[in-house]
């Protein structure tokens, strides 16, 4: 039997987030246990996200049933969001972190948009993830798009789907991808046991068209996803990145972020161009109920007309928003308070997924 052709072999690539979108995908929040004791304001944060994104693109929202949709519509009206720009789909989910379980969309030179359906295993931590794992297949049926389910064959085992979350990678759209060893290579993360560095690089090439992989080390403290790169380092141009930076040597993030800065110092894009590294400040530690949370300005989301930046009632908020505003001229860069939102262990990039135009 001939092996199935991969997206890369067929000329598909994952576009950069700043390339034109057809839509942004969200899943309306319902899992109260993700924000224990703080769920009440969370739908209104989603409402503000939709209000900011809708002027530039459609917003596609997954809801579990009719009452859930009515609740979402009510919140969106109160927030002043343009409901004419919103589509609802009855697709049940376990959680709301569409970055990690929604399909990663790819596009070819003819303009065809397809989707990649990676296995989602609840970040190798949560048992209730089967509905989230089924979302890409549901989106493929809804849209009638071509879908690819990347697989691999571990030594001595049957073929299986590759486990990958969208927050573990960031692309420049030209063939280069950023990721971390902590997430995709460490033995404790249980995503693709036995996979080597070469195996993972092959997964990223075949599935996303990433021919050049840049490996960072550890992610930030408080991140329960084993070091997702979208809390750490993000492309802001084909050969430019922002890197979360902690100036206080007493902070637990200082050493790990400095080590990643050293790695980036010698890195280039797929064409051999040296990366420009722009330092993005870290907020002061956000702690709730004795737990350090993954508060990071790097978890911003780039829409067609808006950039959503999480803020934390912190002195560095204005600096972070201003820096990103300089990097994305032509888009309205807006800070939205995420101090309660981050109690769910993610912010705006974690809660969104872009569909290319």
Distance CA 116, CA 356 (A): 13
Contact 109, 70 (CB under 8 A): no
Say how many C-beta atoms besides its own lie within 10 A of residue 287's C-beta: 11
Reported as a single tens digit per residue, the pLDDT across 106-134 is 999 999 999 999 999 999 999 999 999 99
pLDDT over 90 percentage in the chain: 95
Half-sphere exposure (CA, 13 Å, Cβ side) for 24? 32
Contact 345, 224 (CB under 8 A): yes
Catalytic residue among 102, 183, 233, 350: 350
- In sequence order, what are the beta bridge partners of 215? 179
Q: What is the mean pLDDT of the chain?
A: 96
Reported as a single tens digit per residue, the pLDDT across 294-345 is 999 999 999 999 999 999 999 999 999 999 999 999 999 999 999 999 999 9
Domain ranges of the chain: 21-356
How far does the chain reach from its first CA to its final CA, in angstroms? 35
Distance CA 45, CA 175 (A): 34
Catalytic site residue 350? yes
Reported as a single tens digit per residue, the pLDDT across 236-290 is 999 999 999 999 999 999 999 999 999 999 899 999 999 999 999 999 999 999 9
Name the CATH code of domain 21-356 (choices 3.40.50.10860, 3.40.50.300, 3.30.465.10, 3.75.10.10).
3.75.10.10
């Amino acid at each position: 039997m001939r092996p199935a052709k991969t997206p890369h072999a067929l000329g598909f690539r994952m576009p950069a987030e700043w390339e034109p979108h057809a839509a942004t995908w969200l899943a309306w929040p319902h899992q109260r246990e993700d924000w224990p004791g703080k769920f009440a304001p969370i739908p209104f944060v989603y409402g503000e996200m939709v209000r900011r994104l809708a002027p530039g693109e459609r917003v596609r929202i997954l809801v579990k049933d009719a009452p859930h949709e009515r609740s979402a519509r009510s919140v969106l009206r109160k927030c002043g969001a343009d409901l004419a720009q919103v589509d609802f789909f009855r697709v049940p989910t376990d959680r709301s972190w569409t970055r990690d379980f929604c399909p990663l969309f790819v596009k070819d030179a003819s303009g065809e948009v397809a989707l990649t359906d990676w296995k989602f295993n609840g970040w190798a931590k949560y048992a209730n993830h089967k509905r989230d794992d089924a979302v890409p297949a549901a989106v493929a049926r809804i849209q009638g798009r071509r879908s690819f389910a990347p697989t691999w064959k571990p030594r001595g085992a049957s073929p299986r789907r590759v486990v990958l979350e969208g927050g573990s990678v960031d692309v420049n759209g030209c063939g280069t991808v950023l990721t971390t060893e902590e997430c995709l290579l460490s033995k404790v993360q249980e995503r693709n046991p036995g996979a080597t560095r070469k195996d993972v690089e092959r997964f990223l090439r075949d599935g996303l068209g990433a021919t050049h992989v840049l490996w960072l080390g550890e992610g930030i403290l408080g991140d329960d996803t084993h070091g997702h790169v979208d809390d750490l380092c993000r492309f802001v141009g084909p050969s430019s990145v922002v890197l979360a930076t902690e100036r206080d040597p007493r902070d637990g993030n200082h050493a790990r972020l400095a080590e990643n800065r050293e790695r980036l110092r010698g890195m280039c894009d797929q064409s051999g161009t040296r990366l420009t590294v722009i330092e993005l400040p870290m907020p002061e530690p956000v702690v709730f109920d004795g737990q350090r949370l993954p508060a990071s300005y790097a978890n911003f989301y780039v829409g067609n007309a808006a950039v959503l930046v999480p803020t934390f009632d912190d002195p560095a908020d204005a600096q972070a928003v201003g820096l990103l505003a300089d990097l994305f001229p032509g888009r309205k860069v807006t800070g939205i308070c995420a101090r309660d939102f981050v109690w769910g262990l993610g912010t705006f990039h974690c809660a969104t997924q872009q569909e290319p135009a």
